[in-house]
């Protein structure tokens, strides 16, 4: 189990940030975001886009994902 | 785009001027900042003879660039007492541009109780029409009367009864291009009351008999960059998602990080968020014949608007937006999209700002006037504003006035204007924007969500807000913000400006328009009496932790650094 934006998510250890973002994009229940420009924070550390595929997520990790957008 | 009409509401004289050369490369917000600086005493009474209401088009209006036609409305704000620019889509900017009209200035103050409509005739000639038959009409009925009289394609910029009564939360409404209803609003800062003080019920624009041709400096170069821009917008994933759900999808995100305002900015998660998220909205929106993918201005290719019908199939409202769903919904504890849509319709019809009104209702709920979550109670409060009861008129003075009158301690305003739908404890850069913008609390003055910064931490937020505020001042001078992402880069924007206005523009030169605008706006507010003490969030955001454990922790002194540039 990991936390994504303060909410629990069943997770297979070792899958990466990139896997998470793909899941978010495809799963309507999880879909936090309106397009694919993100800021990703894992355990209070900023993850750069080039590291998404190299950053595994493990049980207990706390992830926050932010889009870029403005409401009208 | 060089025609300026100046209407003296004291003498009823209308004069035709050519746009001053020094204003030629300004539009929208930047033009308003400059004209107010040049012509209005910042210490004037916002509803007095010294204030002026300015209506003007954006810098790219009159061209064939998609999303280029926004109408900016400006003046000294009746709500904040500071400088104000509020802009909107709709048909009016395009209608004005077809006549070659850049700006209309309403000045003076009528000495009698005669109300007028400024009528721009087919040949572009302006005249003042008696408005006596239309007084007391709200925006939907008024627009229908104008369409009946002048035809379906007439442009209408109007105030409802809220503006007539001088409500300080009143809007200037515009007709939406897709629905033909007056559902678009230059909403913030009470500029409807300023138009009402001038006793101008509306500006009505007939379709130009002879269409103005923009004097492109290099048409071939312009067509090439226009094509490139359109391709980028159409291939952007942002456009696809905006067409599906419009701005409402922002709830899908803000509700997860306790940035969605809930029960008067309590900082809590909204336990009923699923009922107002984009999935629920899309399911509900198509019931009864509602639609998405609607453009609010002619020629829009983003088409992020929508129309919402009752379950019985009757049109109810259009352009149901994130801010409205959040402020009139979760911030009032309401999770019923049908109730929220009814509130939105009532606000547009009466001509009041949905952000300010939602925040006001929530403050009433905090005071115990009606319980949080009571949709019919919220509608009844708004009905009081429509009916003009004593309490309804108090509500028309805005969130701060109501909060103070009811003895509420948690009043979510900055410079007298209610906070939009992002809780600053969890998106801290926006707390900086709310605090330091000359506009008062306004998300469009500088959104700070962007790559590389943790929005829940204070680090780099002041710098980010400074950069975003300058960018927003440029956006509001040029075009609609929802096409801005693809325009705002050094490959497209300088090329657009060079092909339109000549010379070789740089990106830095364009951004400088934003910087200069913000300097003028701040100077206006300083002369109006604002100090650094006004650049601050309400105390409760510093002392009450949100559900994620955060408080707003950027001190007023740290935020003052934003002005060191």
Domain CATH for B316: 1.10.569.10
Q: What is the pLDDT of residues B189-199, one digit of tens each?
A: 999 999 999 99
Q: Identify whether B136 is part of a domain.
A: yes
Please report which confidence band the pLDDT of residue A10 belongs to, taking 50, 70 and 90 as the band edges.
very high
* Predicted TM-score (pTM) of this structure: 0.96
My answer on whether B276 and B328 are in the same domain is: yes
Which of chain B's residues have a Cβ under 8 Å away from the Cβ of A35? 236-238, 240-241
Instruction: Please judge whether A33 and B252 are an interchain contact, meaning their C-beta atoms are less than 8 angstroms apart.
Output: yes
Average pLDDT over every residue of A41-61? 95
Do residues B69 and B161 both lie within one domain? yes
pLDDT at B484: 87
Domain count, chain B: 2
- Quick one: pLDDT band at residue A32, thresholds 50, 70, 90? low
- Enter the CATH code of domain A2-67: 3.10.20.30
Is residue B169 assigned to a domain? yes
Residues B275 and B200 occupy one common structural domain = no
For residue B106, tell me if it sits in a domain.
yes
Residue B35 maps to which CATH number? 3.60.9.10
In a 13 Å sphere around the CA of B352, the CA atoms on its Cβ side amount to: 35
The mean predicted confidence, pLDDT, of chain B is 96
pLDDT, one tens digit per residue, over B203-234 is 999 999 999 999 999 999 999 999 999 999 99
pLDDT band (50, 70, 90) for residue B440: very high
Question: Quick one: B198 and B250 in the same domain?
Answer: no
pLDDT at residue number B242 = 87
Domain presence at residue B212: no
Please indicate, yes or no, whether residues B155 and B243 belong to a single structural domain of this protein.
Answer: no
Position B434 in a domain = no
pLDDT above 80: residue A71? no
Q: Quick check: is B511 in a domain?
A: no
Domain assignment of residue B482, yes or no: no
In degrees, rounded to 5, the angle at the alpha carbon of residue B358 between the alpha carbons of residues B356 and B363 is: 95
Q: Distance between CA B241 and CA B40 in Å, rounded?
A: 42
For B151, the domain range is 3-205
Which residues 6+ apart lie within 8 Å of B322 measured at CB? Answer: A71, A72, B246, B247, B248, B249, B250, B251, B421
Contact between chains at A6 and B548 (C-beta distance less than 8 A): yes
Residues B286, B182 share a domain: no
What tens digit of pLDDT does each residue of B379-404 get?
999 999 999 999 999 999 999 999 99
Is B137 in the same domain as B7? yes
Whether B62 has a pLDDT exceeding 90, the answer reads: yes
B545 near A CB under 8 A:
no
pLDDT interval class at B241 (50, 70, 90): confident
| B195 and B339 assigned to the same domain | no
Residues of B in contact with A70 (CB under 8 A): 247, 250, 443-444, 447, 449, 481
User: Are B137 and B266 in a shared domain?
Assistant: no
**Residue in chain B nearest A47 by alpha carbon:** B452
- pLDDT tens-place string over residues B525-556: 999 999 999 999 999 999 999 999 999 999 99
User: Do B190 and B170 meet the contact criterion of CB atoms below 8 Å apart?
Assistant: yes
Q: What is the mean pLDDT of residues B456-464?
A: 95
The CA distance from A8 to the nearest CA of chain B, in Å, is 11
* Residues B157 and B261 placed together within one structural domain of the fold: no
B90 with B141, same domain: the answer is yes
Give which of B415, B183, B429 is closest to A70, Cα–Cα.
B429
B131-166, pLDDT tens digit by residue? 999 999 999 999 999 999 999 999 999 999 999 999
pLDDT for the residue B391: 98
ipTM value for the complex: 0.86
pLDDT higher than 80, residue A29: no
Other beta carbons within 10 Å of B148: 10
CA-CA distance, B413 to B127, in Å (whole number)? 40
Domain boundary among B392, B423, B454: B423
B362 within domain boundaries: yes
The secondary element (H helix, E strand) that includes residue B204 is strand B200-205
Give me the pLDDT at residue A70, please.
57
Nearest CA in chain B to A65: B253
N residues, chain B:
565
Q: Is B295 on the interface with A (CB under 8 A)?
A: no
The model's pLDDT over B502-511, given as tens digits with 9 standing for 90+, comes to 999 999 999 9
Is the pLDDT reported for residue B371 higher than 90? Answer: yes
């Amino acid at each position: 189990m990991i936390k994504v934006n303060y909410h629990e998510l069943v997770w297979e250890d070792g899958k990466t940030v990139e896997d998470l973002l793909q899941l978010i994009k495809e799963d309507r229940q999880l879909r936090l975001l309106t397009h694919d420009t993100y800021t990703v924070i894992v355990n209070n550390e900023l993850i750069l886009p080039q590291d998404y595929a190299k950053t595994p997520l493990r049980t207990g990790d706390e992830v926050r994902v932010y889009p870029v957008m403005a409401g009208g | 785009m060089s025609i300026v009409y100046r209407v003296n509401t004291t003498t009823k004289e209308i004069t035709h001027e050519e746009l001053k050369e020094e204003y030629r490369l300004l539009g929208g917000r930047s033009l308003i900042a400059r004209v107010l600086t040049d012509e209005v005493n910042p210490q004037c009474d916002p509803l007095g003879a010294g204030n002026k209401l300015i209506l003007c088009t954006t810098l790219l209006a009159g061209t064939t660039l998609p999303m280029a036609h926004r109408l900016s409305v400006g003046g000294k704000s009746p709500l904040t007492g500071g400088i104000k620019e509020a802009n909107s889509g709709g048909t009016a900017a395009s209608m004005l541009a077809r006549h070659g009209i850049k700006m209309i200035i309403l000045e003076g103050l009528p000495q009698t109780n005669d109300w007028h409509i400024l009528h721009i005739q087919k040949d572009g000639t302006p005249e003042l029409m008696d408005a006596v038959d239309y007084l007391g009409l709200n925006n939907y009925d008024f627009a229908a009367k104008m369409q009946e009289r002048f035809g379906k394609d007439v442009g209408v910029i109007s105030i409802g009864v809220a503006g007539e009564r001088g409500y300080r939360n009143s809007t200037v409404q515009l007709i939406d291009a897709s629905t033909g209803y007056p559902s678009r609003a230059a909403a913030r800062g009470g500029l409807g009351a300023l138009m009402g003080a001038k006793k101008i019920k509306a500006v009505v624009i007939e379709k130009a008999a002879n269409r103005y041709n923009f004097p492109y400096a290099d048409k071939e170069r312009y067509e090439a960059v226009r094509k490139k821009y359109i391709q980028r917008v159409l291939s952007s994933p942002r456009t696809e998602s905006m067409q599906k759900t419009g701005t409402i999808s922002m709830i899908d995100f803000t509700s997860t990080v306790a940035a969605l305002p809930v029960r008067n900015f309590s900082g809590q998660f909204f336990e009923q968020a699923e009922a107002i998220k984009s999935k629920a909205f899309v399911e509900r929106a198509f019931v009864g014949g509602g639609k998405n993918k609607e453009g609010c201005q002619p020629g829009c290719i983003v088409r992020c608007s929508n129309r919402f019908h009752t379950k019985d199939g009757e049109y109810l409202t259009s352009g149901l937006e994130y801010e409205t769903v959040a402020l009139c919904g979760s911030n009032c504890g309401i999770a019923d999209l049908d109730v929220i849509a009814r509130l939105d319709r009532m606000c547009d019809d009466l001509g009041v700002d949905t952000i300010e009104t939602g925040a006001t209702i929530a403050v009433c709920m905090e005071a115990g006037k009606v319980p949080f979550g009571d949709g019919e109670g919220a509608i009844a409060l708004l009905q009081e504003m429509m009916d003009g009861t004593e309490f309804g008129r108090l509500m028309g003075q805005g969130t701060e006035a109501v909060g103070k009158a009811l003895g509420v301690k948690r009043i979510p305003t900055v410079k007298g204007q209610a906070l939009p739908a992002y809780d600053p404890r969890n998106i801290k850069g926006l707390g900086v924007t709310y605090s330091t913008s000359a506009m008062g609390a306004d998300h469009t003055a500088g959104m700070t969500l962007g790559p590389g910064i943790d929005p829940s931490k204070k680090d780099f937020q002041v710098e980010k807000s400074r950069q975003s505020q300058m960018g927003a001042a440029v956006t509001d001078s040029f075009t609609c913000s929802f096409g801005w992402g693809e325009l705002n880069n050094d490959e497209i924007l300088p090329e657009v400006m060079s092909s339109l206005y000549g010379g070789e523009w740089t990106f830095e030169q364009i951004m400088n328009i934003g910087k200069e605008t913000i300097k003028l706006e701040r100077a206006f507010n300083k002369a109006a009496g604002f100090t650094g003490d006004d650049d601050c969030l309400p105390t409760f955001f510093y002392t009450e932790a949100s559900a994620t454990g955060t408080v707003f922790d950027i001190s007023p002194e740290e935020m003052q650094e934003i002005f060191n540039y």
